[in-house]
Structure 1
């Protein structure tokens, strides 16, 4: 049984749980399903270790022109670990699939929370959909090179989209198990690359890439701007807070573990690649081969079989990241639908598996539309086969990272606001020192990304995209603020419940599309 209150303030109406077919418009997510290891794998999958090594690391060497890339990952890892101090403490108090949305609503105000939710939605969608450009290109290229099959990039992308969509409407622990296998294989192949690199070492096991002078030099802005994108997804642990066992401990613990692993692994792997190619040659080689550098290196020193295995796992690495970001978007849609901030049908979950089905299908539909748009736009493009990589992937993922970094900085301010109001026995380090440091550090990285955005998207000369892409992200957040003000004035009952879903066992759930009510599970 559930109790519902009509928007007009009429007396509560009691009735059975509203259902439609296999969907439940009043149910919640599958609670207490995920363990800490499962959550760590989901977080790391979004960062895609092999994708970073194969694509991100050579690109960072090439664009920054510095060999101090390993130190960049260490510094960024420390910054994000400092962010995780307050973020983790807040996640122990607020368990909400909306994460950023709920935290900012609590710490800075409901209207700001709604603005953050719109910003999060477009940023996560941009990251997820943009990855289809690289996934489609990589799978299409591999099938043609190894099997002689000519498959358009968009068809390969849609095949991946179907698989991701199926997992998105399934139990979250199924996605976690699939991701755990894929991430483990990613780590294995990266470890092999590292071992081969240190074994070859044409200039010896040089520590040059670890020297501060190789990092603190002109080009550091581009290095940090590119480097931070490799960590995107580390904050996603809080999105699963309603589905994890013992969220007060599991989410902070998984976040710290994931950040530590990602930072150290990226630093080690980028150093190993520089050693394998040669510190004096790594920048030039990265500029010449780009994302193919790792595979060229393996072909020279590991043989064709190892190269093919690495390329297959590169594709599955992208698939794991697609699944992770898809799950994040679906839960944001669910959280906003549950609280009627967006249409309440978005809060519908599967009756048996409690997956955020409506949110998952909505995300898949958006992905289909954008992949189709870029497929049509790419017909006859002078960019040739690289069109989806240089447009869909590059434009959207960098725009998404831009938005997420901004959200991280704002969330640091929200943590300050939350603990200023309710210290809860936490130390000064947790309450304001760590959040203040992370706000300043992440704000600085945000500015660096904005200044270097032309470099990030590969623009040659002045490009309107330098203004258009960040503008779309920020304008969406501003539109969310306007919508929040509308709800405050016209739908105060909905506005009053912003960010409240999932904070206790009495969780406000989304209204059914038929009744239009705000339900409270008793």
Structure 2
């Protein structure tokens, strides 16, 4: 009897059959970091958008991404590859487009992961000073985080999943406790101000959706781990649906609770004054210990996001090394079954960038906030633009694939859901680009356009490189298009 892919001990070198649905959900949610969204994302959204409709934004994007997950989940159950985005694009839209998507995705995931070191180093240094009175430079704490991420990255993903599970569970507990306290101590009483249409359907909607999208970054990563999941035909799609539902509902509730705790009439001005410190300042009024504990967990939530995006980037390196788009050394795995070539490549890239920003920032006028206003802001906003763009392209690729190869799917699955998701994601991508100056907090023309140009330029380089590889005929085309990973329908029984 033939052994199914999910029953094998290894597949393409990665350890398979390890990750359960719950493990995948933790990995996916860790990338968005619940406490980071509450403490960093929601106040920033209120401050910059100047609107109370932040909770609605999570629900609206949750609906769009749920539509995306309909076809995406079906494709992930049929094509199990750590390449995810680019494999799906190649299968649906063509080999060159797939390679372009591969390079763009690789750049975006690395930008997101490396950019987070700026906020992590800054927050860890602040927490250490507040808790122990010890002052250390942000880059030194960034290196400590880098070491932890690097060590976990070359170990089996199951171990990382357990670490992330603990961190994410603690984050949820803190956010739930904060939300209950905020609602119980609402200075202006309980209201539905944040759910009123006029606080969402207004000119500021572009900024609101652009910042809200950041909370969902990484939700698509379930498919990246399909080769390492138990029963991937069901696990990946199930985990994606659960993660999207939890992210949308939980973040909408916590953003509304924050608004109630501060007061609808004060939330915008308070968010503009305190920024990411708003949650901790609010908690400090009730308990300094609770505020310090939440601040410390904020740092661990950033660590969880760093681990999640490191693993995603490492698997993109791995898949591209195996397919011949990048050198074969990137496609190596270690004894643990982890993609050691890709993990080390990501770690080396991260430490080089950290070193550059540490040197440049040492003489900057903004030395204290330097890692936040440069490394974090520049890199993560560009990454959000790139990943949102990829979501839009992947939606249309899924639609083409489903209509071409799986006509047995319903019209909703193969056409309506991916089409609506693609249009929605294209609109959000445009809104991010239009409001990029606000997201970057600068009017500098060079900075506003250089980061999106890096993202789109990487896609263009990918198209050119794809053409070169096709002409050379030196790559594994079937691996890139997912044909070697696609599950063929079982033949009908004969009598």
Alignment CA distance shift 1:215-1:493 (3 Å): closer
Question: How many Å apart are 1:26 and its aligned residue?
Answer: 9.9
What residue is the counterpart of 2:431 in the other structure? Answer: 448
Shift of 1:497: 4.1
Change beyond 3 A, Cα 1:166–1:493: closer
Pairing of 1:351-362 with structure 2 (within 5 A): 352-362=335-345
Q: Is the 8 A contact 2:90 2:480 kept in 1?
A: yes
2:45 is the alignment partner of 1:60: yes
1:117 lines up with 2:102 in the alignment: yes
Alignment of 1:181-220 (within 5 A): 181-220=166-205
Counting matched residue pairs gives 479
Structure 1 window deviating more from structure 2 (270-279 vs 378-387): it is: 378-387
Q: Which residue of 1 aligns with 2:453?
A: 471
If the length of structure 1 is used for normalisation, what is the TM-score? 0.90
User: Cα distance, 1:462 vs. partner?
Assistant: 3.5
Q: Which residue of 2 aligns with 1:229?
A: 214
Is the 8 Å Cα contact of residues 79 and 487 (structure 2) preserved in structure 1?
no
Contact 2:310/2:343, CA 8 A, preserved across alignment? yes
Match of 2:83, SS?
coil
Per the TM alignment, residue 482 of structure 1 is displaced from its structure 2 partner at its CA by 0.4
Preserved CA contact (<8 Å) 1:395 1:457: yes
- The CA deviation at 1:218 is 2.1
Match of 2:346 among 350, 354, 363: 363
Q: Note the 1:177-326 alignment, pairs <5 A.
A: 177-301=162-286, 303-326=287-310
Once the two structures are TM-superposed, the CA of residue 27 in structure 1 deviates from its matched residue by 5.3
Once residues 242 and 221 of structure 1 are traced to their aligned partners in structure 2, the CA distance between those partners, rounded to angstroms, is 37
Report if the CA contact (8 A) 1:54-1:291 is conserved: yes
Partner of 1:345: 329
Q: Does the alignment pair 1:31 with 2:13?
A: no
Q: Does 1:484 align with 2:466?
A: yes
Moved more, 136-145 or 233-242: 136-145
1:372 equivalenced with 2:351 (yes/no): no
Question: Is the CA contact 1:95–1:242 (under 8 Å) kept in the aligned structure 2?
Answer: yes
Rounded to whole Å, the distance in 1 between the matches of 2:12 and 2:224 is 17
Question: By how many angstroms is 1:211 displaced?
Answer: 1.1
Q: Once the two structures are superposed, what CA deviation does each residue of 1:222-279 show, in whole Å capped at 9, x if it has no partner?
A: 0000000110000000000000011111100000000000000110000000000000
Q: Distance in 2 between matches of 1:162 and 1:415?
A: 38
| Alignment-derived partner of residue 88 in structure 1 | 73
Q: Distance in 1 between matches of 2:467 and 2:161?
A: 38
CA distances 1:295-319 after superposition (whole Å, capped 9, x unpaired): 0000013x11100110110000000
**Structure 2 residue 107 is matched with structure 1 residue 145:** no
The reply on whether 1:45 has 2:30 as its aligned counterpart is: yes
Q: Would the aligned equivalents of 1:84 and 1:255 in 2 still touch at CA under 8 Å?
A: yes
Pairing 1:98–2:83 present: yes
Residue 385 in structure 1 maps to residue 344 in structure 2: no
- Contact between 1:484 and 1:495, CA under 8 Å: does it hold in 2? no
For the Cα contact (< 8 Å) 2:11–2:227, is it kept in 1? no
Name the counterpart of 1:411.
394
The counterpart of 2:155, out of the listed 162, 165, 170, is 170
C-alpha distance 89-251 of structure 1, shift in aligned 2 (>3 A): same
**Which residue is equivalent to 2:409?**
426
Per the TM alignment, residue 505 of structure 1 is displaced from its structure 2 partner at its CA by 8.8
Distance 2:406 2:379 in 1: 39
The Cα offsets for residues 400-432 of structure 1, whole Å up to 9 and x where unpaired, read as 000000000000110111012112411000001
Q: CA deviation at 1:494?
A: 3.4
1:353 positional shift: 1.3
1:399 matched to 2:382? The reply is: yes
Deviation at 1:322, TM superposition (A): 0.3
SS at match of 1:464: helix
Which secondary structure state, in structure 2, belongs to the residue aligned with residue 149 of structure 1? coil
**Does the 8 A contact of 2:71 with 2:413 survive in 1?**
yes
> Where does structure 1 lack aligned partners over 5 or more consecutive residues?
1-24, 507-522
Relative distance call for 1:103 and 1:27 in structure 2 (3 A) is: closer
Distance 2:221 2:150 in 1: 19
Q: TM-score, normalised by structure 2?
A: 0.95
Which blocks of at least 5 consecutive residues in structure 2 are unaligned? 1-9, 489-495
